[in-house]
Amino acid sequence: MRWTCFLIIALLLPLCYCSAVQANEQSAQQLVNDGIALGLEEKYLDAIKLFDKALILDPDNYKALYNKGTAFNYLGLFQDGLETLNQALEIEPGNTSALNNKAFALSELGRHNEAYDIYSQILEVDSDNTQVWNNQGLELARLGKYEEAIKSFDSGLEIDSTVIDLWNNKGTALNFLDRDEEAIIAFDNGLKIDPDNTDLLTNKGVAFYTLGRYEEALECYDRVLGIDPDYADVIKYREMAMNKMQ
């Protein structure tokens, strides 16, 4: 089964042309903008170098720290990401984007209770944030609290029923509870929005397989492989379904 989680990337900062007194801040801001642009191209190491240059000019530059921490997360360097995001939060303690990405790092470090607490903290001030409802649900699922996870996913879907990851993760939690028929309905709701979503199709196939409906599972796997012929897990799942049908 495949879960999906969210990181939040900053938008480019508008530049303002000001006096020489603020030259360092403006230069730092340009470096941050350039770093964000590199991050959007997935050139995270190069982006971090620019954020570091910005921090030499402006050590308390929140955006440089925030985006550096987020880049570390994308590189899988979660301890570095956590430490850098903590520095950003010393400057803007209540910033929900930094808190979200800190929680992501904590989760990847296996500190799921702490991550859950942060997502709950964010929702106290931003209860319409579907990404955070999704991420909170994932932490509950990772803690084995699937019923509570489903409530989080449902809370997000009440706000926006077009968020595919919420449908996918709700269906996956239902699958772990052996509520496979309900899981298939959740996956189908997501597939109405994105019919070629390989995560939804794969997880729907797994639910069919669990129910012993191997032909329907095979149909899902074949659709996935028509989109991504090298999808190793689905190749394996397809072989398992074929063996059951022999």
> pLDDT digit string (tens) for 161-208?
999 999 999 999 999 999 999 999 999 999 999 999 999 999 999 999
| Dist. CA 224–CA 122, nearest whole Å | 36
- At 1, the pLDDT band (50, 70, 90 cuts) reads low
pTM: 0.84
Question: Above 90 in pLDDT, residue 98?
Answer: yes
Q: Rounded mean pLDDT of 114-127?
A: 97
The SS3 call for residue 184 is helix
Distances (CA, A) of 64 to 22, 91, 156, 246: 17, 11, 30, 58
Amino acid at the residue 214 = Y
Cβ distance 112 to 5 under 8 Å?
Answer: no
Q: What local confidence, expressed as pLDDT, does residue 246 receive?
A: 83
Distance of CA 157 to the CA centre of its chain: 16
Q: What local confidence, expressed as pLDDT, does residue 58 receive?
A: 93
Chain-wide mean pLDDT for the chain?
A: 91
The SS3 call for residue 183 is helix
Which residues make Cβ contacts (< 8 Å) with residue 133, sequence separation at least 6? 123, 152, 153, 155, 156, 159, 166
Amino acid at the residue 82 = L
| Dist. CA 156–CA 16, nearest whole Å | 37
| Dist. CA 116–CA 125, nearest whole Å | 15
Distance of CA 234 to the CA centre of its chain: 22
Q: Rounded mean pLDDT of 118-124?
A: 97
Cβ distance 156 to 133 under 8 Å?
Answer: yes
